[in-house]
Structure 1
Amino acid sequence: MKLRSNVKIVLFTLVFVLFSIMSVQAVTLEVMDSVIVESPEREALLQIIENFEEENPDITIDYQGVPMNDAYAQIPTLATSGALPDVYLATLDFIGTFEDMGIATDLRDVFSQEYLDGFNQNSLSELTVDGKVLAHPFFVIPMGVLYRIDWFEEKGLTPPETWEEFLDIANELTEDTNGDGSVDRWGFAMLASRDGSGGSRFIQIFRTFGGYELRLNDEGEYVTDVNTPQGRNAFEFFTELNTEHEVVPPGPMEVSYGEALNLMVTNKTAMMVTGPHSIGGIIERNPELDGKIGAFPLPMAQDGGKHISVLNTYGHAINPDSDKKEEAAKFLKFLVNDESALLWNEMTGRMPTRTGLLQSPEVQDRPDLAGFVEAMDYAEPLPTVSYYSTIMTDILPSAYQSIIVGQATVEEAAERAEERIISLIEEN
C-alpha cells in the first residue's frame, strides 16, 4: 500500500510538472512592427526579444515585420477583418484614425499614471487623443540634418543657422570630384517622394518658414497656412533646390527614405533631413563613415522663420480585443527599461522616451547625437486628427511634386493644397 501511494505521489508530481511546462509555453504574443525589417534595428530588437523571453519563459514573441509605408494600409484592413495582432506599431500621423476606428486600447486602463508620467510628455502627447493614451512610446526621432563632418572640415564650413546659409553650403558641396566633367556629388539628399517619408520631412521644413500645414486658430478651429506668403516661400525654396539650384541628385521624386540613406552611404550626398536612427543605418552599411557623421537642427528662414523639430514618436498600440493585455504590457515595459533602451540607442541611434534616460550621459554625451539633442529643444507636436495622414502623405507631396515637374506654379500648387485641406477640415 505504501509503495502504491508513493507511485501515486510520483505520478501526480510528474503530471504537475508537465502541466507547468505546458503552461509556461502557452502564451504567444503577436506583435506587428516596421523597425524589425530594417538594419541594425532588427539585430537590436532580436536581442531585446531574446532577453525578454529569457526572463519571461511563459511568453513567446511572434514578431511580424511590415515596412512603414505599407503598415497603415494593412492595419485598417486587418482591423476590418478581425485579424489585428495583439500589439502593433503606432505613430502620430495615424493615431487619430486608430481612435476613430476604435482599434487602440486606452493605456490609462493598462498602466499606472505614475508610470505614464515617467515618459517625456511631448512624446506621450503625440500618441494621445482627447486625453486617451492610445500607444506606448518606444522611441523618438527628433528631426534635424545629418551631415558629413569631414567634408565640412575640408572646406572650412560650419553648420548653418538659416536656409540661405544651407543653400550656400549645398552649392559648395555639389561638384565634380573626379574631373570627368559631370557632377558626381551633391549637397543634399532631397526626399521628394509621395509618401510619409517625403511628406513628414517637408512638413518640418515648411514649419521653419513660419507657417503651419494645420493649426488651431484663436477660436479653436483648424486652419492651414499653405497658401500664405510663408507657405509659398517654403514650397518655392524646397522645389528650387532641384529645379533652380540643382544641388540634389536627379530624380528627387523617386527618392524616399531608403534611397536617400543610400546616397549618404555611397558618398553621393553631404546632407539629409532625417533623425538619429539614420546614423546606425549608414554606419552599418559603410563602417568607414563612423565618426564622420554629425547633425545640426533644421535651419530656419531668415525672415520670420524659426528652428523646428518634431519628436516623431514611434510607439505600440494594444488591440482592445486582445486577451493578452497583461502580457502585452509586460513586453512594452521591457522594451523601454534602462537596459533595453540604452542597447537600442547604442545600436540604432533612436532615442529613449523615458525622461531619466533622455538625460543620461550615455545619450547626452554622444557627439553624433548632439545636434538631435539640441533639436529636441525646438520640438513641437503635430495634430492628432484622423485626416492628418492624408495631408502628410498625399496633399503636400502632390503639391511639391506638381511644382517640380512643372505642372503647376508655386501659387497654383499652394492654392490647390489649401482647397484640399480646407475640404478635409469641413468634412471632419
Structure 2
Amino acid sequence: MDETRTSVMNTLHGTTSRRRFLRQAGAAVAAPAVLAATPRQARTAPARSAQETVELEYWWPISATGADYDNMVALIDTFQEQNPNIRVNAQTVSFEQLENRVTVAAQGGNLPDVVWSLPETIPTYQRMGILADLTEQWDAWDEKDGLYEQTVTAITFGDQILGGMPHYLGIRAYQYHADQFAEAGVETPPETWDDLVAAGLQLKELGIPGFGFCGQSVRQPQEVIVFFWQNDLDIAVPAGEGTFRNTWTDNPEELTRATEVFQFYYDLMHTHGIVPREAASWGYTELDTNLAQGTIASAVDGAWMVGYEDENPESMADIAFAAIPYKRTPATFLEVAYQVTFADSPHPAEAWEFLKFIGGREAQSTPAYVNRSVRSDVAAEGKWTEPFMALVPQGRTWPQIALGQISQHMIDAFQGVLLEQSTPEEAATMLSEQVNAALADQGQA
C-alpha cells in the first residue's frame, strides 16, 4: 500500500472526522450542493426512474464504517437523481486488492465500468491496453479547464487522455510547532535546507529534535522524492517512445546532486543530531504521532494531521505551516487519486457521465471533496486547507512509471545510509542502477 492509499484511507476510515474537518475548514467558496448524509448500506440506493436503468459496476475502497461514507454515498445519490436512468452499484474493494482485482478481471474479460485508481497503477493499465480513450469526450467537456494541470499528468499519454478523471488532491507542507520555534529563538520557518539545519541546531540546544522523517513505510519514498525534485532530479525521466531511465549514473553532475540528498539525510540524523536516530525505523504512524505530541518540532506532513487534534489538543495548538524547505527549486508532493474507466466497459457513455460529474465543480464543492478538490475554481477556508492549497503551484507527481519495486529500492537505499552501511554516493549509485533494472523488468526501459 502506498501513501496515497494511506492518507486517503485515513480520511475515509476514521483518522479524520470529516464533519469536524469541515467545521474548521469553513464553507466552500463555490456553493456546494446540499446533500443528505444518512447511513446507508454498501450498495447505493437504486435510481428512482420509471424507465429502464443502466447499472454501472463501480469498485471503490470505501466501507460502510468509513468516516466519509455518508458524504460519498450522498454524492452518488445526487448523481443518480440527476441521471435517473443510471444506477451505480458500488462494491467495496480495498486499495491493497484493487490493482490485482482489475488485472484478474481484465484477463477474464469482466472489468467493472469504473474503479478508483492511483497514478502508479495507471501506467500498468495503459501497458495492458485496457484504458478507455477519453480524448474526444475530454475535449468536449466544458469544465476541464478548472482542473489543476498537475492532476491530469498521469492520464495524459502523448495527445491522448486515457482512462480517468482526477478526483482527490492531497498536498504536503512543512508543519512546525511555532511555540517551540519561538522558545528556541527561531523567528521564521526555514526556507532552505541550510535554514532547516540552522533552526534544528537551535532547537537541539533546548533538547528538542528539530525535525523528523519516515525511515520506513510507504510514505518514505514520497518524502524523499520531494528532496530529489528540489535538487533538480527525478527518479526517472522520459527516454522516448514511452520508456524511462534514471540518468544519475550517466551524468556525474546529476550523481553529485543525488548524493547530496542522501548526505542531507545522513547529516540531519548523524552529523547534526537534529533527527532522532530511531526515526530510521519510523513509519508514518510514528512520525505523525511524534509531531502531534510535540516530541519533534517539525516534519513534512499532510492535512490529515487535523485528525490528531482531538487526542492532542494542547500539543497541536501551535502547529503552523510553511512550504517545504528546498535546495535549488521549491517542490512538494501531490497525491492524486483517479476514477478510471475501461475500453471494454459495456456502458461507456454512462461511465463518462459519472466521471465528469465526479470531476465537475458541483461534486468537488460538496463535503465529499471540498477540502481536497482537484479544481482551482473550488476552495475552502480554514487552517487545515488554505496553507496546503497555496502550495499547489509547486506541486509535482510521480513520473508515469510503475513504482512497486522502485519504492522498495528507495527505502532500502536510504536505510543503508541511515544505518551507516553505505555511503551517500554508494547509495545514489546503487539506487540509480536498481531503478533502471526495475524499469527494464516491467517493460518501461
Q: TM-score normalised by the shorter chain: which range applies?
A: 0.7 to 0.9
Check the 8 A contact 1:107/1:136 in 2, yes or no.
no
Q: Are the equivalent residues in 1 in contact too, given 2:363–2:369 (CA < 8 A)?
A: no
Cα distance in 1, alignment partners of residues 301 and 65 from structure 2: 15
CA distance in 1, matches of 2:70, 2:314: 20
Deviations 1:250-280 (A, max 9, x none): 543543334433333344333232344x244
2:167 to 114, 135, 138: 138
Q: Per-residue displacement from partner, 1:377-413 (whole Å, max 9, x unpaired)?
A: 223454213x45543x122222111222233222222
For residue 296 of structure 1, the aligned residue among 314, 322, 326 is 322
- Report the Cα offset of residue 87 of structure 1: 1.8
Q: 1:325 to 1:54 in 2, by over 3 A?
A: same
Q: Distance between the aligned counterparts of 1:285 and 1:86, measured in 2?
A: 41
> Equivalents in 1 of 2:154, 2:80: separation in Å?
30
Q: Tell me, what secondary structure is at the counterpart of 1:294?
A: strand
2:151 counterpart residue number: 123
Tell me how far apart the structure 1 counterparts of residues 100 and 79 of structure 2 sit (CA, whole Å): 30
Bigger mean CA deviation after superposition, 166-175 or 202-211 = 166-175
Amino acid at match of 1:122: Q
Q: Match of 2:190, SS?
A: coil
Partner residue, 1:90: 117
Please report how far the alpha carbon of residue 299 of structure 1 lies from its aligned counterpart in structure 2 after TM superposition.
Answer: 1.1
Separation (CA, whole Å) in 2 of partners of 1:307 and 1:104: 33
The aligned residue for residue 189 of structure 1 is 212
Q: Which has the larger radius of gyration?
A: 1
Query: Distance between the aligned counterparts of 1:53 and 1:394, measured in 2?
Result: 42
Which letter does structure 2 place at the counterpart of 1:96?
P
Count of residue pairs the alignment pairs up: 387
Indicate whether 1:209 and 2:237 are aligned: no
| Aligned mate of 2:297, from 246, 255, 270 | 270
Deviation at 1:175, TM superposition (A): 8.1
Equivalent pair of 1:39/1:281 in contact (CA under 8 Å): no
- Provide Cα deviations, 1:99-129, integer angstroms capped at 9, x if missing partner: 1012321222544253433422232123212
Is the 1:216–1:223 Cα contact (8 Å) retained in structure 2? no
Q: 2:246 touches 2:432 (CA, 8 Å); kept in 1? A: no
Identity %: 21
Q: Secondary structure at the match of 1:188?
A: coil
1:340/1:171 CA distance change after superposition, 3 Å: farther
Residue 64 of structure 1 pairs with residue 95 of structure 2: no
1:160 shift after superposition? 0.8
Amino acid in the other structure paired with 2:431: A
Q: Distance in 1 between matches of 2:389 and 2:424?
A: 34
What is the TM-score with the length of structure 2 in the denominator? 0.73
Q: Counterpart in 2 of 1:412?
A: 426
Which of 140, 164, 168 is the aligned partner of 2:198?
Answer: 168
Tell me what 2:342 maps to.
319
Q: 1:336 to 1:224 in 2, by over 3 A?
A: same
Residue in structure 2 matched with residue 356 of structure 1 by the alignment: 377
What are the ranges of 5 or more consecutive residues in structure 1 without an aligned counterpart?
1-18, 177-182
Let me know the Cα RMSD of the aligned residues: 3.7
Question: Would the alpha carbon gap of residues 79 and 281 (structure 1) be closer, same or farther in structure 2, given more than 3 Å must change?
Answer: farther
